[in-house]
Amino acid sequence: MLKRIAPFCLILGLVAVFAGPLFAATQPAVAAKDSSPAGAISAAVATLTGIAISPLLGTGAYGAYKWAVAEESQRGSLSWYAKPGFWLPALLIAGACALKDVLGTALPPGFKKPLDVLETIENKCSGLVAAGAVVPFTMDAISKMLVSSGSSAAAFPTGFATIYMGAIDFSWLLNLLTVPFGIAVFCVVWMASHAINVLILLSPWGAIDAALKAARTSLLGLITLSTTLNPWVSATLSIAVIIVSWLIAGWAFRLMIFGTSFCWDFFTFRKKRFKPSPVENRAFSGNRLCSLGVPTRTYGRWIHEPQNGRWRFAYKPWLVLPERSVDIPATKPFVGKGLFISTLLDGESTLLILPPRYRDHEGEVATIYAVEGGVQDAGLLKAWGVMRELFGGASTRAQVV
């Protein structure tokens, strides 16, 4: 059921995002529209949140909207993101990514995975572009709204004492406060949204990928459409997104680091240049270490202490805080060789997750760390071996060191 409806949800969400700005631009101005500074600020917050959810799609749609509502004589002076040379290719790339997810429901994971890696890299790059350009513009607009409202007659008393205050521009001071705050909000929401791209990297099934992308696109479309109807409703929804993103920031940050490592190893073919160290190696924590206070997918060092036969996992929370370390508990460990990612397993529990650079180096790792169970197939690779044996083919046998 999920596999059938996920592509349609994704297409509907994309239609809502693309059609929303253009539909709003063709509608006549409504007299009851909230033109107060507070209403404009609510719309700006919603715009910031929407762009953070999907930087390329959000920036492209926002630029298309600015271009559509501008007068013909003013389009030449629009910002670069509001010109067809940027927003048209941006929307085409976003549409290509959506088409990849729709068609990917019928493809094996190995055929779609390189495209997922490309989209993850694109999401990182477009996030940097949006944070460095669109966000300061949005926060600068908020600062000017606040200054213009504060310098009005309703906000300040009239008289000779206020003659010089009206000539002072406080927007630079508000920018010092609002721009860093806006970038911080953008980063928190973007990390939560970017986690979906990393989950797609980890997911072996195209239907799950399409469902995750459809949920994110639908949320972006809902914020976009509610902005054109009622900025306060859109602002309330945006604030809810910001709060949820803040609560899951640690989880999203760990996924972001994991996705960065995955993409780097995958595209640079690092496994061909990599050689495991005899003392310590980089890895990510598994679910077994959660009971020791180490969150899943924490980036750290797998340390081997042969003098006492102990393994330790050392890590720095948020990569910059003081280092901590825990002993890795293992009774019958073995290195699980997966289709894309290998792991250190103890029964059904995952002790450590090895980045893609360790692919084809599992035997060396098992020898260095004296892993009792050696190397065994795991995950999709194990399932493929079982299917081959079931249909009469030669099954892939476990390699025991």
* Between 179 and 335, the higher pLDDT residue: 335
CA dist 67 and 127 (Å) reads 21
CATH code assigned at 351: 2.30.29
* Between 197 and 246, the higher pLDDT residue: 246
Query: Looking at 210, 240, 263, which one is the last position of a domain?
Result: 263
pLDDT of residue 388: 42
In our burial notation (b when 16+ CB lie closer than 10 A, e otherwise), range 107-120 reads: eebeebbebbbebb
CA dist 342 and 359 (Å) reads 7
CA dist 308 and 330 (Å) reads 14
What's the helix, strand, coil split of the chain in %, to 5? 65, 10, 25
Instruction: Report if residue 397 sits inside a domain.
Output: no
Same domain? For 224 and 117 the reply is: yes
Tokens encoding 384: 């493929």
**Domains contained in the chain, number:** 2
Average pLDDT over residues 228-252: 88
Query: Looking at 263, 298, 331, which one is the last position of a domain?
Result: 263
What is the β-pairing status of strands 375-377 and 333-337? parallel
Tokens encoding 280: 């310590």
**How do residues 57-69 score in pLDDT, each as one tens digit?**
888 888 888 899 8
**How do residues 125-147 score in pLDDT, each as one tens digit?**
888 888 877 777 777 667 666 66
**How do residues 323-334 score in pLDDT, each as one tens digit?**
999 999 988 899
**How do residues 167-192 score in pLDDT, each as one tens digit?**
455 556 666 677 788 888 899 999 99
Residue 77 has pLDDT above 50, yes or no: yes
CA dist 90 and 126 (Å) reads 9
CA dist 347 and 331 (Å) reads 8
Instruction: Report if residue 17 sits inside a domain.
Output: yes
- Return the residue matching tokens 């999920």: 2
Same domain? For 246 and 312 the reply is: no
Domain that includes residue 343, residue range: 273-390
| pLDDT band at residue 244 under the 50/70/90 scheme | very high
